[in-house]
Structure 1
Amino acid sequence: MTTKNVLTEAEASHYICMSRSFLRQARMDGNRLNRTPAPPFIKIGRSIRYMKGDLDNWLSSFQRLEHLGQFQGGRNA
């Protein structure tokens, strides 16, 4: 069995447990202040693709919490 390294928008949204509309909006907004940063993506012609490794790194960049009192409102430095 092979594991895909390149994911479509639908596959990426499922992989990171976020909606497709989040991914679309994140691509439009970029990394604006007070917004969840966009995961990296590639554009091939009119197609948008996400590299699985980039999504793993993006997920790892967020602060891990044991309770909401720890939330600082940002990403790990």
Structure 2
Amino acid sequence: MSEVRFLTSKEAAAKIGVAESYLRQCRMTGVIGGGYPAPPHRQMGRSIRYEESELEAWMQAIPKRRFVPTTEPEYSGGEMQL
């Protein structure tokens, strides 16, 4: 029996190639780009986790897609850095 591995939101976002904030938005609305269902997640106490095997199955079921960049803007000295 293999061990179940859970990913944080940050790890899950990196795995599917989206910004963590975009993944959070999709989780709240229940859909991701193109109207497809958001990846399955679990609430564990106060944390959100994604089971790695479920996330991989979800990635296989969703057609190839284009998402927002995987890096979030950084702010420094009043200027936005991309």
Q: Same fold judged by TM-score > 0.5?
A: yes
1:38-63 deviation line (CA, Å, top 9, x unaligned)? 10000011100000011101100123
Provide the secondary structure at the position in 2 that maps to 1:49: strand
What value does the CA root-mean-square deviation take over the aligned residues? 2.4
The structure where strand makes up a greater share of residues is 2
Match of 2:50 in 1: 50
Moved more, 9-18 or 34-43: 34-43
- For normalisation by structure 1, the TM-score amounts to 0.67
- Flag the structure with more relative contact order, 1 or 2, with Cα contacts below 8 A and sequence separation at least 6: 2
Q: Structure 1 regions of 5+ residues with no counterpart?
A: 66-77
Could you tell me the percent identity over the aligned residues? Answer: 39
TM-score (norm 2): 0.64
Deviations 1:5-58 (A, max 9, x none): 1100111111111111121111111148x5232100000111000000111011
Is there any run of 5+ residues in structure 2 with no aligned partner, and where? Answer: 66-82
Question: Closer, same or farther in 2 for the Cα pair 1:16/1:4, shift >3 Å?
Answer: farther
Distance 1:23 1:54 in 2: 15
Q: CA deviation at 1:64?
A: 5.1
Q: Spell out structure 1 runs of 4+ moving beyond 6 A.
A: none
The number of residue pairs the alignment matches comes to 62
